Structure 1
Amino acid sequence: MSLADEIAASGLADYILPRFALKTGRRANIVTGDADARLASVEGAPPVMARGDIVFALVIEGENDAARRFADWLRSDVGQKTIAAFAPTDGPAFGPPPEVSVRTVTKIEGDAALGREVAEAHCARCHRIAPEMTGMTLGSTPSFSALKTLQDWSERFTAFYALNPHPSFLLVKGISPPFDPSRPPPIVPVEVTVDEVEALLAYVAQVPAADLGADIESR
């Protein structure tokens, strides 16, 4: 299995590409044959990630600025944290190469007030978006406060539009692919902009995490 095949089989590409698109406004696609960038093990090429003893480098082919931007994003703190947050179903986890350090501080920018409006307009049909919120929601969906208790809450919210069931009815303009005509949205479709997604993240950052109480102790 080639390095590119290993990446594809692991599911890593499906995990990181939507997050790259949201942060940069650029979409990257996996192709067979000629490509603007390729994953390879090339001596002297700047490494972007590692899996076990294997070090992966993204080799740029040609002068495509978008490919260079993708390579820069993979090597950035955000890109490295995104890679490290992915949990493959089989085999060892991916992580930064030895010489790349990852800071743990996540900076979220956006208009929190606008984010509250976006949440009320689109998210509140299923989620309890604030502790003081009353009214009907879907009982099977977690509240924003409950999601904030998870260590990876920022990663979940950053790419929520790519996580089921959202792709079936929600689009981020300029980022998400169009709906499949053979599978129309099951509810009234939602379209949001990148700025609205960033605003939503800023709002969620201000939502307090739920107090789930002390751990259960058995006696």
Structure 2
Amino acid sequence: MAIAMPPEMTDSGFAQHLLPRFKFRHRIALDPVAPDSAAELAFRREDGVGEAILIGRDGTVYRLVFAPDSATGRKFADWLRSGPGQKTLESFPKDGPPLFTLFEAPAEQKVEAAPTGDVALGSELALLHCGRCHVVDKRNRMGGIGSTPSFGALRARANWHDLFLKFWVEPPHPSFTLIPGMTEEFTDSRPARIHPVKLSDIEVNAIIAFIATMKPKDLGAPIRYD
């Protein structure tokens, strides 16, 4: 079966290094031919066709092109990505860095959107409602309940945004928090444990926007157990 390969793969001896090892592994012979020759498989430099699979030492990305129903093409691509395939790539040439290595697409970076809301309003609401149990900032630094984490400590957590985005489902908040459209109304059969805190979604967003401006509290290094 023919595989079209560019000159930098054949003239360098890379093809002669790569293809016999694939044959040894899968008992399938691939014969290198010129890039413009008819072939069932092909390494191409063009964007948009085939699977990006190898990258040259100079940064050139090579795509493996084959028909969707080609079992050999799929097997060859999978072998290149396998442990034995990668070792084959890494071992050529013997006297220097690999000429070609497995291409890995850059990981998508998760960009967390900045909270939107009225920071000033959030500051007032946080002190008014949350300050009953939490130390919000220096305005009520002598307040709060001792066992309740301060806003600074909560802000230091990696998942602080998720915590505040759904704080009303975290105990003990369900017993006294009312957010229209998000929580159930309190009734005679399910009364609020204390005077209820009622917030709109706009007010929740304002509180989160305020917390986003806070400096996380330095909680020190994690506890180590020997």
How does the TM-score come out when normalised to structure 2? 0.48
Larger radius of gyration: 2
TM, length-normalised to structure 1: 0.50
Higher relative contact order (CA 8 A, sep 6+): 1
